Amino acid sequence: MAAWNKLLPLLAGLLLAGGSLAQSPAHLSVDHSAMTSPDNSWCIGRFRFSLPPGWRPTGRKQSIYRVDVQVRSGGAEALWQERLAKVRQLAPPPGATAALIRTFELERGVPAVWYRSSDVFTHIISLEALKPVPEGTLMLAREAVVGKEAAAEQLVKNVVRAYAPDQRQGFCLERGAIVTEPGQNEETRISFDNPSLPGASLSLDTHTVRQPDLADRGAGIREQAGKTGADGEQVAIRRDSVRKAANLEGREMLLSQSGGKRAPSVQFLWRYAGSALRADQPEIIFEATGDAGQGRALGEAWEMLFGSLRPVPLASR
């Protein structure tokens, strides 16, 4: 994962070390218009949850079978031309004259493009496709190695065919869902901020695992707690205990930082290690950070997240 926001980047890194949660790919942009909820209830991947009023999404990413998928507002033709324009602007790798390889129809009504997504490696290519759906435009992307195009195309076709509009069961996209067998490679991430809490953030990540990492990720934090850093900063552990969310048992920590050049701050952390090859029991990480004066409001959002987290029912087509 990327470095945690602004609080305890080294210590938080110890807690997450070894994780493989991916960040949002550059070739799928965030559609904020698709991320609205009147009651601030959210559905992503295999889980749903709620947050207090004022928290708004700043980013969302989900993938199944390693296919990045989202539903965007706007017409399919306009989005298709926008994507092609951006692909054509990409710098090709050495030995190639252009990033774009070819455009074609993945299946009827589903335009697609293969392009060189790396400006360094010629063997890494990306496939993007889109399809008009009642909620907007279904957009899909998957990377592949040269020579493996047919397998990647079939996986993207499978996801297209498994999309169900007006559905919040299966693998939830907020606008519709992918209704298919649970995958062994599923990832989601959704992050929030709150205009009334400048600088504060909250996020939820999930990732299916082949084998859960049961190492004590908090050991390094406990070792450093109470010590004074080079800049005079001190970290205190306010909470460190086992806690369940959606009946899944993970480790919760509440940290505070004071002293040094930074303003006092707090960080809430929770991690469930996951169960092997269980899409309904992936690795889960919650994080909330903010200034010390925002601790109460962060705590309220934290408790609502815990209390409301529920699994999304599996669905059959």
For residue 222, give every residue at least 6 positions away whose Cβ sits within 8 Å of its Cβ, in sequence order, or none: 237, 240
Supply the pLDDT for residue 152.
98
Answer for the pair 210, 278: CB distance below 8 angstroms, yes or no.
no
What pTM does this model have?
A: 0.87
Share of the chain above pLDDT 90, in %: 71
- Helix, strand and coil content of the chain, in percent to the nearest 5, comes to 20, 40, 40
Supply the pLDDT for residue 38.
67
Supply the pLDDT for residue 18.
42
Answer for the pair 6, 289: CB distance below 8 angstroms, yes or no.
yes
Radius of gyration, CA atoms only, the chain: 21
* Choice between 315 and 89, residue whose per-residue pLDDT is larger: 89
Supply the pLDDT for residue 22.
33
User: Does residue 279 have a pLDDT over 60?
Assistant: yes
As a whole number of Å, the end-to-end CA separation of the chain is 34
Supply the pLDDT for residue 2.
32
- The string of pLDDT tens digits covering residues 57-69 is 999 999 999 999 9
Q: What are the chain's domains?
A: 1-61+183-317 (3.40.1000.10), 66-179 (3.40.1000)
User: Does residue 193 have a pLDDT over 90?
Assistant: yes
Mean pLDDT score across all residues of the chain: 88
Supply the pLDDT for residue 316.
61
Supply the pLDDT for residue 88.
95
User: Does residue 5 have a pLDDT over 50?
Assistant: no
The beta-carbon contacts of 124-127 under 8 Å, at least 24 apart in sequence, are 125/101, 125/149, 126/27, 127/152, 127/153, 127/156
- The string of pLDDT tens digits covering residues 133-183 is 998 999 999 999 999 999 999 999 999 999 999 887 899 999 999 998 888
- The string of pLDDT tens digits covering residues 8-23 is 444 444 455 443 333 3
**Average pLDDT rounded to a whole number, residues 188-199:** 97
Supply the pLDDT for residue 181.
86
Supply the pLDDT for residue 11.
46
The DSSP letter of residue 269 is E
* Choice between 111 and 35, residue whose per-residue pLDDT is larger: 111
